Amino acid sequence: MINISSKTEPNWVDKNNSDTNYFQIQQRINFLIKHYLAKKELDERLTELPSQFKEPQARPWKPIDWQSIHRQQIIGIDTEVFLSVLVGAMDTEAPIRGYTQTSRQYLEKLHPQMAQYVGGTIDENGKLIEPGLWEKEERQHTPALIKVYQQLTGEKITPKLRTVRGYLPTSNPYEDLYRHGLHRIATEFGATCLYIWLMSHTTGPLQDILEQLAIDEINHMTKFWGFGVWAYPDTSAIKITKTLIKTRHQNYKSNSLVRTLKRMMQTLNWDSWYFGNKISLLFTFSSAIHQLWIWNNTLTPTYLNELFGVEEIPNSEFPTVEPLLTV
């Protein structure tokens, strides 16, 4: 578990500091990224994954003073924009069961332990018996965001349950998992950056709850990332980029990454944001990927094989990268 209280935050990251200076917001973002994405923290999250295959234990949240959450704890961003981002995050988090079961299907033939971690246990008819640890931790997010929204507005809200893209297998399950895994990591990375960015715009108990959401996303992103590097040791930044931007199926009108980005922008009400807010979110993304790529370069085959074993996922050959489709 990440020990948040073990590190001292500068005054401009203090949870009671309401300074809204743009450059101080960037300083807050930079500190939070270096704090929560420190190599030691990421290593600890990844190292515990094999033990969670055997004895899964959900990470407990620290106590939250829900009644003390109020609008004055929002800083450096218009309140209505902040609320629209909360709604977008809520709608994105809501269909967690769909996410977990799709990922389980991609994993179950290749790595049953990881499949159980993300998607739980099913019976012979495919009915879910017990959710996986990933779902048990992530399913707290939507109720928490609903509670925050109600505390800030006094209004009840129901998230929109969108349809999750289902399991779309081909004749090569190894390649299918590679593509799906990259998009899963990208999604977890996006959530990590969003919650860190929201933390930089909040103070007090409101920041406390966003912190718990961020820690969960970092935890899962780190485990998926490290597992992916082990499972696909011959990948590269070029292959990752080409796979993320290419079209998955011929009948898709646009490539999957573009679709994801467009949906995220619409969900978060991006057009209503001030320019400074947009720049600070982009700064969060670029700073976070830089920090993570430094960590990625420490994930040696020897280290990963010590964690997950030397037996590789069944594979005939590494997935080939098809030419980009024009749209």
Phi and psi at 165, nearest 5°, equal -60, 125
* Mean pLDDT computed over 79-88: 93
Is beta strand 128-130 parallel, antiparallel or unpaired with respect to 121-122?
A: antiparallel
Give the pLDDT confidence of 262-310 residue by residue, as tens digits: 777 777 778 888 888 999 999 999 999 999 999 999 999 999 999 999 8
Give the pLDDT confidence of 152-198 residue by residue, as tens digits: 999 999 998 888 889 999 999 999 999 999 999 999 999 999 999 99
Lowest mean pLDDT among 46-55, 79-88, 240-249: 240-249
pLDDT at 316 over 70: no
- pTM score, whole prediction: 0.88
Sign of the CA dihedral with 236 first, then 239, 242, and 245 last: negative
pLDDT at 44 over 80: yes
Closest CA to 319 of 177, 179, 175: 175
Look at residue 247 in the predicted model and tell me its pLDDT: 52
Alpha-carbon distance 281 to 186, whole Å? 15
Look at residue 194 in the predicted model and tell me its pLDDT: 96
pLDDT at 9 over 60: no
User: On the CB side of 69, how many CA atoms lie within 13 Å of its CA?
Assistant: 22
* Mean pLDDT computed over 34-54: 97
Look at residue 49 in the predicted model and tell me its pLDDT: 97
pLDDT at 140 over 50: yes
Give the pLDDT confidence of 227-251 residue by residue, as tens digits: 999 999 988 777 777 776 665 555 4
Look at residue 319 in the predicted model and tell me its pLDDT: 45
Look at residue 326 in the predicted model and tell me its pLDDT: 29
pLDDT at 112 over 50: yes
Alpha-carbon distance 253 to 255, whole Å? 7
pLDDT at 108 over 60: yes
Look at residue 163 in the predicted model and tell me its pLDDT: 84
